[in-house]
Amino acid sequence: MRAVELVRAGPPGTRELRTVERPDPTPRAGEVLLRITACAVCRTDLQICQGEIPARKLPVIPGHQIVGRVQAIGEGVGGWAAGDRAGVAWLAGTDGTCTHCRDGHENLCASAEFTGWDRDGGYATHVVARADFALRLPEGFADLDAAPLLCGGVIGYRSLKVSGIRPGGRLGLYGFGASATLAIQVARHWGCRVFVCTRATAEQERARALGAEWAGGYDDRPPEPLDAAVTFAPVGAVVVAALRALDRGGTVAINAIHLDRVPEIPYGDLWWERSVRSVANFTRDDAREFLDLAARIPIRPERDVLPLAQASEALDRLARGEVQGALVLDCA
């Protein structure tokens, strides 16, 4: 197999990503081996590669929005056959026995493992995954279109659920990258009125084209109080801006695994039972619900495609803010 692995994390110029050849992996009991066709590039990949999120093992193959075909099956695996199309996402496995797992909150499992962080990911031609955490993908999506749904799409969907937004409600989206462009399609399907705050004029225009009623900058206040908001930018000041835009009883859901800091919040901005909640990973049920919904809407991601060999360039483009929608690596 060919893979792009992270050897040393750091900003461009100090980060070391190298292309390597390895023997094809062999699935163990309970695992499947996928021949990868596509892997979307996520901001979390960038944060791991830049060292903003400390690596858990090195070298590691990044990438956790993986689409491929089952090539081999480990002992004891049922429900999968060679040739089946499957997706592999951020949540790579949990213990299944802790209180959180038993209560349906496997995203909070303290023993959880994550693709591209604890286990090798999808910047490669092959990947091994736990069979019970591989996801079936609905028909109607090409592989390159399905890949961005597996993190940006699913975590955006969970963020909407955590925010408590109801059909027809007034929703704020703060930041308008790949995840937000998918979340707005769900929100508009639910009949929500969507207000977008984002830095770039081009992103504001894209938000309007996707159905936003209003779009402005981070320092602009939406024209009406919001019932809920989701922040996508990993900047604490944006969380405060979203909080100030809420109506009484509203919630800000933070869609980020890494946030620079949260500035001091005057209690008056939090009063009237406003709340701020983090969004930690997602469950397999979230993924199944979202993928089914995405096929019915249908959601169409905006994407640019690069070959696997240009994985480092893809991360650099993401860091420079040059990406509209999602970047997807063609691993076939």
184-233 per-position pLDDT tens digit: 999 999 999 999 999 999 999 999 999 999 999 999 999 999 999 999 99
- Check whether residue 146 and residue 21 sit in a common domain: yes
Q: Which alpha helices (H) appear in the chain, and where do they start and end?
A: 43-49, 99-102, 143-146, 152-163, 178-189, 201-209, 236-244, 267-270, 284-296, 311-319
- How far apart are the C-alpha atoms of 205 and 185, rounded to whole Å? 15
Decide which of 235, 252, 278 is a domain's last residue.
Answer: 278
Model pLDDT, residue 261: 87
Q: Please, how many CA atoms are within 13 Å of residue 72, restricted to the half-sphere of its CB?
A: 12
Residues 207, 227 share a domain = yes
Residue 221 is predicted with a pLDDT of 96
The strand pair at 226-231 and 246-254 is best described as parallel
Asked whether 177 and 323 are in contact (CB, 8 A), the reply is yes
Helix, strand, coil proportions of the chain in percent (round to 5)? 30, 30, 45
Q: Count structural domains, the chain.
A: 2
> Rounded to an integer, what distance in angstroms lies between the CA atom of residue 159 and that of residue 154?
9
- Segment 111-158, tens digit of pLDDT: 999 999 999 999 999 999 999 999 999 998 999 999 999 999 999 999
- Choosing from 255, 278, 301, the residue where a domain stops is 278
Same domain, yes or no, for 136 and 8? yes
Whether residues 63 and 164 share a domain: the answer is: no
Q: What is the DSSP string of 201-264?
A: HHHHHHHHHTT-SEEE-TTSPPSS-EEEEEE-SS-HHHHHHHHHTEEEEEEEEE--S--S----
Question: What pLDDT sits at residue 12?
Answer: 82
Answer whether residue 325 shows pLDDT above 90: no
Closest CA to 28 of 72, 75, 79, 68: 75
Q: What is the pLDDT of residue 258?
A: 85
Q: In whole angstroms, how far apart are CA 2 and each of 21, 61, 256?
A: 5, 11, 30
- Examine the domain organization and report whether 223 and 316 are in the same domain: no
Which CATH number fits the domain that encloses residue 65? 3.90.180.10
In this structure, are 192 and 266 located in the same domain? yes
Clarify whether residues 258 and 313 are in a common domain.
no
Query: Is beta strand 91-93 parallel, antiparallel or unpaired with respect to 113-114?
Result: antiparallel
Average pLDDT, the chain: 96
CATH number for position 186? 3.40.50.720
Same domain, 10 and 134: yes
Residues 189 and 211 in one domain: yes
Residue indicated by tokens 């938000």: 207
Q: Are residues 17 and 139 in the same domain?
A: yes
Instruction: Give buried/exposed letters for 225-236 (b at 16+ CB in 10 A, else e).
Output: ebbbbbbbbbbb
Can the peptide bond before residue 62 be classed as cis, meaning omega within 30 degrees of 0? Answer: no
- What residues make up the domain containing 206? 153-278
- For residue 180, count CB atoms less than 10 angstroms from its CB and return exposed for 0-12, middle for 13-18, buried for 19 or more: buried
Cα–Cα distance for residue pair 234/200, rounded to 1 Å: 15
Pair 141, 55 in one domain: yes
Per-residue pLDDT tens over the stretch 146-189: 999 999 999 999 999 999 999 999 999 999 999 999 999 999 99
**pLDDT at residue 182 in the model:** 96
User: Are 10 and 145 within one domain?
Assistant: yes
